[in-house]
């Protein structure tokens, strides 16, 4: 294995690393008190220095879906909608697209899930190269 292919042998000691007991260090993430999903930071190779990424800059804010869980119908709302077109894609747990709506031009859309099987789905809203993905449960 080429040591330049990744963090070969672990990261250097520092505040983001802990001794792995076999001569190297592993990254650590303290999740104490975290109750929501967390986006992990991106680190510079073999250091504890974080790098700026565009994932947070591209997240579409103000998107909500309700009720959740849903039975037949759910509403997807873009709070503060500015009139520009957007799209919605509904995928199942294995990533298959089960519903797609493009060029939407209203701040609120109804999703009809009455023909879908019960389970967990993901609603992906995309607008101006920004997106937001929400988990939706269909009962």
The predicted-structure confidence for 19-28, as pLDDT tens digits, reads as follows: 888 877 777 7
20 to each of 55, 112, 131, how far by Cα in Å? Answer: 30, 50, 37
Q: Can you give the pLDDT at residue 38?
A: 66
Q: In 3D, which of 115, 26, 131, 37 has the Cα closest to residue 76? A: 131
Q: Note the pTM of the prediction, 2 decimals.
A: 0.58
Assign residue 94 a region: left if phi > 0, alpha if psi is -120 to 50, beta otherwise? alpha
Instruction: Write down the domain spans for the chain.
Output: 1-53, 63-138
Fold classified for 63-138: Immunoglobulin-like (2.60.40)
Query: Residue 49 — pLDDT band, cuts 50, 70, 90?
Result: confident
Query: Which has more pLDDT, 34 or 22?
Result: 22
Strand (E) or helix (H) holding 74 = strand 73-78
Q: How far apart, in whole angstroms, are the C-alpha atoms of residue 50 and residue 86?
A: 32
Average pLDDT of span 29-39: 72
**pLDDT averaged over the chain?**
81
Q: How far apart, in whole angstroms, are the C-alpha atoms of residue 129 and residue 110?
A: 22
Query: Residue 77 — pLDDT band, cuts 50, 70, 90?
Result: very high
């Amino acid at each position: 294995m080429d040591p330049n292919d990744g963090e070969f042998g672990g990261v250097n000691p520092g505040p983001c690393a802990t001794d792995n007991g076999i001569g190297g260090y592993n990254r650590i993430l303290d999740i104490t008190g975290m109750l929501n999903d967390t986006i992990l930071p991106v680190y510079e190779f073999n250091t504890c220095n974080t790098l700026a990424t565009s994932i947070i800059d591209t997240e579409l804010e103000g998107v909500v879906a309700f009720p959740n869980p849903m039975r037949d119908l759910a509403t997807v709302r873009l709070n503060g909608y500015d009139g520009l077109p957007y799209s919605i894609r509904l995928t199942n747990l294995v990533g298959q697209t089960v519903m797609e709506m493009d060029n939407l031009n209203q701040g609120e859309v109804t999703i009809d899930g009455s023909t879908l099987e019960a389970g967990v789905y993901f609603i992906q809203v995309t607008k101006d190269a920004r997106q937001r993905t929400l988990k939706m449960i269909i009962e």
